[in-house]
Structures are given as C-alpha cells and as structure tokens.
Amino acid sequence: MRKINKRVRGFQLMEEKAFKKIKRLNSFLKEEKMRGNFGLKMGWIPLLGVLLFLIFMPSFAQKTKMIQVRGSDTMVNMMQILAEEYMNRKPGSSIAVMGGGSGTGITALINGTCDLASTSREWRQREIDLAWERGVRPRFFVVAIDGLSLIVNEKNPIDKLTIAQVGAIYRGEIRNWKDVGGPNLPIVLYGRQSTSGTYVFMQELVLGNKNYSTEMREMIGNAQIVEAVIQDQGGIGYVGVGYVFDKDGKIRKGLKVLNISKDEKSPAYSPLDKAAIDDGRYPIARPLYLATNGKPSPAIADFISFIISEEGQKIVEREGFFTIGRQHREQNEKNLK
C-alpha cells in the first residue's frame, strides 16, 4: 500500500511497543511486591502515571491530528494520491483514506467516525435528515467531475448506445448484443454493490429508479469491473472515467469506452471529451463530493483548499478525472468559511 498505510502501521507499531513497556513495568512491580518492597515503593504509583502518559502521548498526539477520509471507491485512488501529495508538502500532517462506498462514508460522517465523507453522488434527503437528527450539519464540496464510463470488451463491435438502451440492458430487458446492433452474444452485466454511489447514480439517472437485473454481477470496486470486462467478450460495465486509463494515460488494453447519446436523435459523446462534459452534452457526468460536519477545522479546510487549488486540480486531472469549474470553486470557497 501507499505511504498513508505505512503511517497507520507506524501508529500500530508505537502502540505495540508501548504495551511491551507496560508489560515489563508490570513484571517489575510484581517482583518488588514479592520481595516485600511494594510498600516501600509507593513512589512508583505517581511515576507509573507519568510513564504511561509519556508512553502514549506521542501516539495519541499524532492520532488526534489524523484526518480520516472514508467513502467512494470511485474516488479512493484519487484521494489517496491527493493525501500523499498534501502530506509531502505539510510535514507532520496525517491523512488516512479508505473506500467502502459512498453510503459507507455518509454513515461514518453521521456516526462521527470520519472527518470527510467522499461520495460520488448527492446525499439522499433521508440521509440529510438523519444527520441533522444526530447533530451533524453536512457541508458539501465539489472536488472533481467524473464522466461515468460505459465499458465493453474491445472485441465487441458496438461503439455507442443511447441512455434508454443502457437502462434496458441493466434492467435485464435487453439480454443479447444483437438487439442493439451487435453480435449474437449474451450480455453479461457487471455493476457495483448497493452501498456504492455509482450504483445509486446509475439507478436513478439511467435505470429510471427501477431495479437492476437480478443477473447483474455486483463487484466490490471499479477495478474489479474493469478486469472482468477485459476478460469477458460479452461483458458491459460502468466505472469512473479515471479507471479506464493505464499508467501511461492510455485506454486499458482490452477495453472499449462507449459513446453515449441522450436519445436516438441526439449525437453520441464520449466521457473522455472534457468539452462535452463541461457543457452537458455527455449525459452521464456527475460531480464528486467531499462532505464535512459543519465548518471544517483549520486542518481539514487546508486540505480541501489544497484539493481545489490549481495544484490539487492538476492531480485530479492527472488521475483521469475532470477539474471543477468556476461555479463549483466559488461555492466551495463559501462553504470553507
């Protein structure tokens, strides 16, 4: 794993060392008691308190400074890179990034077990209501734009689909590629689990709030969908645009990214076309969010400011996503105050 995980392991090692010190100290006190010296050693009691404080103080101090980010699997790689870059520029800062899905991040923020919830969808009203009931006041920051990408195996001759066709495919109403102009080949569906923001976004925008086919294979993350489609000539999947590229910035070998149109009369556009994303011509684009509980602390605000800065947005773009526009930037600045 990355440097972030090394830092977390560092905290664990510090705690292990601390418990070893306590164990040795307990052994010493037991020996003193057996020798009949315990009564004479009552001075050890306050000293023990001091020793425990000194043992745990470094680990505790560092842990209290750590920013916990949890949520979207679409965003997790990007957030890990941003956290690494930020920590390199801010010695002494600590940020831990975990995935689990947008719903997991929202629940963690509501329960007070993370500082930043990363989500690839908007919060539902019932989630906002629950947050307020528990004294949590979510503030939202758009940090990137994602062109949600429909991918197929590169051997599939299909190049484009309409929103309606994609919806019918994922509802299980279209089961063979020949029904959308492709080969006589069964369609194999790959998607996300229900805690994923991408799952919800697709269901609401593309499936018309109807159920996914029961035959869809639910995968843990974007990377699993990519690998599955590469291996399956009849496969189709949906992933964040940042996951379709290899380390050299090229489309992954074995993949094809489909062009999508709003309807049969409209031209089809690619999620790789930034201009089409910016002006709304690509129909499956979405903002990517971070959420805080109320006004962010100075440390969290500084991290968010880095992400939305010119430097941070270059990293966002390098990781395969699109930069935010003026309107989102201005709203972010208001929410930081």
The residue extents of the domains of the chain are: 70-144+290-335, 149-278
Mean pLDDT of the chain: 86
Query: What average pLDDT score do residues 181-202 get?
Result: 95
Confidence at residue 24, expressed as pLDDT on a 0 to 100 scale: 56
pLDDT at residue 186 is higher than 70: yes
Higher pLDDT, 43 or 284: 284
Which of the residue ranges 61-70, 285-294, 305-314, 326-335 would you say has the lowest mean pLDDT? 61-70
CATH architecture label of 70-144+290-335: 3-Layer(aba) Sandwich (3.40)
Q: What is the pLDDT of residue 278?
A: 84
- Is the pLDDT score of 197 beyond 70? yes
Supply the DSSP string of 263-281, one letter for each residue. Answer: STTSPPB-TT-HHHHHTT-
Q: Would you list the DSSP string of 3-28?
A: HHHHHHHHHHHHHHHHHHHHHHHHHH
* DSSP classification of residue 175: -
CB within 8 A of 199, min separation 6: which ones? 191, 192, 193, 212
Torsion angles phi and psi, residue 96, rounded to 5: -110, 130
β-bridge partners, 226 = none
Pick from 87, 242, 34, 270: nearest CA to 26: 34
- Classify domain 149-278 by CATH number: 3.40.190.10
Q: What is the mean pLDDT of residues 292-304?
A: 97
Least Cα distance to 281 among 264, 263, 262, 265 occurs for 262
Where is pLDDT greater, at 221 or 256? 256
pLDDT for residue 219 is more than 70: yes
- Please give the pLDDT value at position 280: 87
- The neighbour count for residue 239, using CB atoms within 10 Å, is 29
How many Å apart are CA 90 and CA 92, to the nearest integer? 6
CB-facing half-sphere around the CA of 251: CA atoms within 13 A? 16
| C-alpha closest to that of 201 among 301, 312, 286 | 286
Could you tell me the pTM of the whole model? 0.72
Distances (CA, A) of 232 to 140, 169, 218, 335: 38, 16, 15, 45
**pLDDT value of residue 133:** 97
Query: Tell me, what's the pLDDT at 27?
Result: 54
The 10s digit of each residue's pLDDT in 43-94 is 444 444 444 444 444 444 344 479 999 999 999 999 999 999 999 999 999 9
Average pLDDT rounded to a whole number, residues 164-182: 98
User: At a CB cut-off of 8 Å and minimum separation 6, what does 96 contact?
Assistant: 4, 7, 8, 66, 67, 68, 69, 83
Q: pLDDT: is 128 or 57 the higher one?
A: 128
* Structure-block tokens of residue 44: 């050890």
Mean pLDDT highest for which of 7-16, 230-239, 319-328?
A: 230-239
> Band of the pLDDT at 142, cuts 50, 70, 90?
very high
Give the residue, 62 or 317, on which the prediction is more confident. 317
CA angle, residues 64, 67, 72, in degrees to nearest 5: 145
User: Is the pLDDT score of 22 beyond 80?
Assistant: no
- Could you tell me which of 246, 242, 176, 188 has the C-alpha nearest to residue 215? 188
In this prediction, residue 244 has a pLDDT band, given cuts at 50, 70 and 90, of very high
Please give the average per-residue pLDDT across 153-179, as a whole number: 98
Residue 229: φ, ψ to 5°: -70, -35
